[in-house]
């Protein structure tokens, strides 16, 4: 078979472009299907250079390089990158957990890919609004007999 009969996309000089497989997309969406992940969660996957390979849900893909940097820095702190860590398995990368008021981010590197999960924080009811849960309930900071404030 000569080069003229081979379609241009199959020639060795053509760049290889990876197209997401339908099952892979189903996998990322499947992670977001239930629980709190379905209510504002997100998942993101980067390559080793911090370029976003794909994301689903409520996660900021424009910060994908930052997540990869965090994973690499954590592995340097842990000593897993240069092999000076205490463990025998150099593939055991650290899991980074970042907690904010709105969500928790879990960042981990797997085989050269950085995976990030964003899990929204479960909203808790505010019990400090006169329900008897406060330490100084009913005390306004002033002297009740004289009406003077302290």
Quote the pTM value.
Answer: 0.56
Position 32 pLDDT exceeds 90: no
Position 82 pLDDT exceeds 80: no
- Sign of the dihedral through C-alpha 134, 136, 142, 144: positive
Enter the tokens of residue 100: 């904010």
Q: How confident is the model at residue 138 (pLDDT cuts 50, 70, 90)?
A: very low
Say how far apart CA 74 and CA 93 lie, in whole Å.
8
DSSP letters along 61-102, please?
GGGHHHHHHHHHHHHHHHT-SSS-SSSS-TT-PPPEEEE-SS
Position 110 pLDDT exceeds 50: yes
Say how far apart CA 27 and CA 107 lie, in whole Å.
18
Give 51-81 pLDDT, tens digit per residue: 999 998 899 999 999 999 999 999 998 776 6
- The domain ranges of the chain are 20-120
- Specify the CATH class of 20-120 in words: alpha beta
Say how far apart CA 72 and CA 126 lie, in whole Å.
38
What pLDDT sits at residue 40? 79
Classify strands 96-99 and 103-110 as parallel, antiparallel or unpaired: antiparallel
Q: Which residues does residue 44 pair with via DSSP β-bridges, in sequence order?
A: 55, 116
Q: Go through 58-74 and write b for each residue having 16 or more CB atoms within 10 A of its CB, e for each that does not.
A: ebeeeebeebbebbbeb
DSSP 8-state symbol, 150: -
Of the two residues 97 and 92, the one the predictor is more confident about is 97
């Amino acid at each position: 078979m000569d080069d003229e009969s081979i379609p241009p996309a199959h020639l060795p000089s053509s760049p290889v472009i990876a197209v997401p497989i339908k099952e892979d997309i189903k996998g990322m969406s499947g992670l977001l299907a239930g629980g709190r992940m379905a209510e504002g969660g997100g998942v993101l996957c980067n390559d080793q250079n911090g370029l976003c390979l794909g994301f689903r849900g409520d996660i900021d893909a424009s910060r994908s390089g930052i997540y990869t940097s965090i994973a690499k820095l954590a592995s340097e702190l842990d000593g897993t990158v240069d092999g000076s860590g205490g463990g025998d398995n150099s593939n055991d990368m650290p899991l980074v957990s970042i907690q904010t008021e709105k969500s928790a981010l879990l960042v981990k590197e797997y085989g050269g890919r950085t995976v990030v999960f964003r899990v929204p924080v479960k909203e808790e009811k505010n019990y400090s609004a006169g329900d008897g849960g406060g330490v100084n309930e009913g005390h306004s900071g002033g002297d009740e007999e004289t009406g003077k404030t302290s």
